[in-house]
Amino acid sequence: MDNRPIGVFDSGLGGLTAVKQLLRQLPEEDIIYFGDTSRLPYGSRSRETIRRYAISDVNFLLSHNIKRIIVACGTVSAVALELLRERYRIPIQGVIDAAVPAAAAATKNGRIGVIGTAATVRSNAYAKLLATTAPSAETLAVACPLLVSLVENGRWSADDIVVKTVLNEYLAPILDFGADTLILGCTHYPLLADAIRTLTDGKLTLIDPGAEAAKCLAEQQLADGSKAESGRNGSLKLYVSDTDDGFAERARSFLDMDVTGLCQQVDIDRY
């Protein structure tokens, strides 16, 4: 048994997809969430910059005496996960190794689409892992650089004309390819899941890597006995590196819970 918090980070709102699943599955756990809102988007930056950001994000979480980390960011998982695992002793769960087995299990026609940030698609991390996990599957990865800004601006409704236009353009090659399964390879994208389902007439099974990572973490805790005491009420603390600027309101809307007083600003340059 281990009552220390679980640390989760992303560049912004996206990692809340992992938090949502943790709250459902592990209500007894304390969660420390960091959204690096002053430095997002990560996905258009160089490998070196993303790695540097990831190190300071982990250093910040470690200052909270956490027991485990979820890198709830596809971009960091794609370009910095190995580095983080080499550098720190704490167990670190990424989103790619969690999402790929779920996609391999879900596909019926062996055609898996991946959408992600430019850095994630450039890294080929999804394609490489899919090639070993589901060798007979064919994959197509499409970079969707505009989607993170839409989500960070609270634009994720299926009725939003801008959302529809941008998604239609990005999803066209995935539909042409004949995918039956789509990995939402940037953790911001599950906030657009309803819009994607509507626009594709529900033809695609959507894989949410943040939620899959949270499920993996829950399994690991069960296996190594590091769950928090059962029956206790877990807590959530949200930290952002810029002024709140609507983050708490959007987090409330996505998590569907009252986050009043839970969100604080942190000076990430100190880490």
Check binding of 117 to ligand DGL (CB under 6 A). Answer: yes
CA dist., res. 149 & res. 43, Å (int): 11
Tell which one of 42, 60, 126, 254 touches ligand DGL (CB under 6 A).
42
Check binding of 107 to ligand DGL (CB under 6 A). Answer: no
- Minimum Å distance from CB 269 to ligand DGL? 18
Query: Could you tell me how many residues make up the chain?
Result: 271
Nearest CA among 116, 182, 110 for reference residue 146: 116
Check binding of 190 to ligand DGL (CB under 6 A). Answer: no
Phi and psi at residue 133, in whole multiples of 5°? Answer: -80, -35
Check binding of 43 to ligand DGL (CB under 6 A). Answer: yes
Phi and psi at residue 137, in whole multiples of 5°? Answer: -80, 150
Q: Concatenated DSSP letters for 90-148?
A: S-EE-SHHHHHHHHHHH-SSSEEEEEE-HHHHHHTHHHHHHHHHSTT-EEEEEE-TTHH
Token pair for 127: 């394609």
Beta carbon nearer to ligand DGL, 37 or 181: 37
Interface stretch with ligand DGL, choices 39-47, 80-88, 195-203, 222-230 (CB under 6 A): 39-47
HSE-CB of 50 using CA atoms within 13 angstroms:
26
186: which DSSP letter?
Answer: S
CA dist., res. 75 & res. 129, Å (int): 15
Check binding of 11 to ligand DGL (CB under 6 A). Answer: yes
Beta carbon nearer to ligand DGL, 75 or 93: 75
Check binding of 134 to ligand DGL (CB under 6 A). Answer: no
Check binding of 35 to ligand DGL (CB under 6 A). Answer: no
Contact 204, 113 (CB under 8 A): yes
- 209-224 and 16-25 are packed helices; what angle lies between their axes, rounded to 10 degrees? 40
Beta carbon nearer to ligand DGL, 21 or 75: 75
- Minimum Å distance from CB 187 to ligand DGL? 4
Beta carbon nearer to ligand DGL, 93 or 117: 117
Annotated active-site positions, please? Answer: 73, 186
Tell which one of 5, 7, 14, 94 touches ligand DGL (CB under 6 A).
14
Beta carbon nearer to ligand DGL, 38 or 198: 38
Check binding of 187 to ligand DGL (CB under 6 A). Answer: yes
Tell which one of 167, 179, 186, 195 touches ligand DGL (CB under 6 A).
186
Of 60-99, binders to ligand DGL (CB under 6 A) are 73-75
- Minimum Å distance from CB 11 to ligand DGL? 3
Cβ neighbours of residue 128 closer than 8 Å, sequence gap 6 or more = none
Beta carbon nearer to ligand DGL, 228 or 255: 255
Q: What is the CA radius of gyration of the chain?
A: 17
Binding positions for ligand DGL, rule: CB under 6 A: 10-11, 14, 40-43, 73-75, 117, 120, 148, 186-188
